[in-house]
Amino acid sequence: MKKLIFVTGGVCSSLGKGVTASSIGSLLEARGLAVRMLKIDPYLNVDAGTMNPYQHGEVYVTDDGAETDLDLGNYARFTAAPISRANSITTGQVYREVINKEREGRFLGKTVQVVPHITDEIKSRIVAAGRDPEADVTIVEIGGTVGDMESVPFLEAARQLIHEYGRQDAVSVHVTLVPEVTGGELKTKPTQHSVKELQEVGIQPDVLVCRSASGLDESLRRKLAAFTNVEYEGVISAKDAPTIYQIPLVFHEQGLDQFLLAKMNVESRHADLRAWKEVVRKLTEPKKRVRIGVVGKYMELHDAYKSVWEALYHGGIGNDAGVEIVRIDSSRFEAEGADPGEILSDVDGLLVPGGFGQRGIDGMVAAARWSREHGLPYFGLCLGMQIMAIEWARDVLGWADANSAEFAPDADRAVVSLLEDQVDVKNYGGTMRLGSNDSVFKDGSKPALAYGSTRVSERHRHRYEFSNAFRGDFEASGLVIAGTTPDGELVESLEWPGHPWGVGVQYHPEFKSKPTAPHPLFAAFVAAALERGKKKAHA
């Protein structure tokens, strides 16, 4: 029978359930098993597409165009599991499906209830995620915290599946906090209460992953085992680590993967963790260092650009270099008397990520202009490529009023605009270009050289496009149209002529980067920044 591993959280949110689930997945893969990852979000939104980055963090986009929770990005970075809309479940999806079935009369007039109808829908989606004949284990992360009202139907569905599958085929991993109080003493009582809450809904955890600033000693682990009915070997200390990519190694050193396999009665090969050890070595002991400035509009919240940060670190791994990220709010460039050269004086490269809305745009344009004029390696992602178009139009073509139709709907020179067939569409969700699309690059262009190919598939999430109405003007003035869609209709990449590395892409390459396989564009960008730093040091 296929195996299930449920990952829940207690005490408080943001303890690292996603990293825990991902790390378990990477360890099982290292032992030769095929895993499938599933994230359950208890919110009523159908998906994360319309949620504010300040509230929810980034929206992670899959190949099939699903807008999902950022934890699916962790799954993709840590494991080889295929990620699609089937790997994301929300309360909104579940209730919408059940209500649709009720309206269609598929419940034959029965009273529709949370149990069994909602829980049956949840269970069917969980089972479907691991139905692939090649899949061995499905790891199910249940968002939120045990005790939250929103999580109750999902915990009940998990309880039923554990009962139906049996404890040998369905395992519970509970992530909790062991806080440190005044004097440095670690307290286990919050974890004990959290496990009690989980037991009250009918789930006995098999594993406790205990987050703490410092590690748990043997006496604390034995105390937790005694008070929670968890075997001592199943109490795992998850102290703070220099990088999240060390977590699989931390878990392996404590025997978590072997313990889970024994619980599920699964034989496997010896874990091959050489790739992870090399990743951690390059992150903690890099041979070089580089500083990358990121100019964006959601700088206050780390998770708003989660995949961008990780892809930059991966780019460093690809060059055996430590990447220090300098977060710069674009509003700094808009302040009276602001000097872009001073703001960017201590960085070796500049990245402008995606985003929506007018705020901070002029600051991004100012940063891009300085980068273009002074040879600072520049990488524009989605909005960052559109900023390149606006800046070039204003400064090189002399169109002071050039803008994006997103920010100035009535602009005469909207160098970034909706496609003609989208202009009158009121349902914004219907105008987004979402998911994988192919791009074709010019021979010899920097993207083509980085990829080692002139055709790639990358994920998109945007509504506005580079306007073809002005394409001839841009090309005549020297801007390089480095990439387009295969039919040549839509611009996918811009490149500054005669610049060390000035590249913008309309898509989001950060979504396909892994620590064990850095994305080629991020690796090439970091390499250019390293070269810039080297020249600056010898100047």
Active site residues per annotation: 382, 508, 510
| Cα–Cα distance list, 350 to 346, 367, 450 (Å) | 11, 8, 18
Alpha-carbon distance 416 to 393, whole Å?
11
List the strands of the sheet with 137-142, edge to edge.
88-90, 35-41, 137-142, 3-9, 170-177, 207-212, 235-239
Q: Which of 324, 347, 318, 381 has the alpha carbon at shortest distance from 518?
A: 318
The residues, ordered by sequence, that sit 6+ positions from 216 with a Cβ below 8 Å of its Cβ are: 178, 186, 210, 224, 235, 237, 239
Q: Buried b vs exposed e over 501-515: b needs ≥16 C-beta within 10 Å?
A: bbbbbbbbbbbbbbb
* DSSP letter assigned to residue 137: E
CB–CB of 104/116 below 8 Å? no
**What is the bridge-based pairing of β-strands 465-466 and 414-417?**
antiparallel
DSSP assignment of 438-473 equals EEEE-TT-HHHHHHTSSEEEEEEEES-EE-GGGHHH
Q: Which of 421, 387, 407, 405 has the alpha carbon at shortest distance from 506?
A: 387
| Cα–Cα distance list, 150 to 7, 147, 373 (Å) | 16, 9, 53
DSSP assignment of 284-345 equals HS-SEEEEEEEEES-TT-GGGGHHHHHHHHHHHHHTTEEEEEEEEEGGGGGSTT--HHHHTT
State the number of CA atoms in the 13 A half-sphere of 379 facing the CB: 29
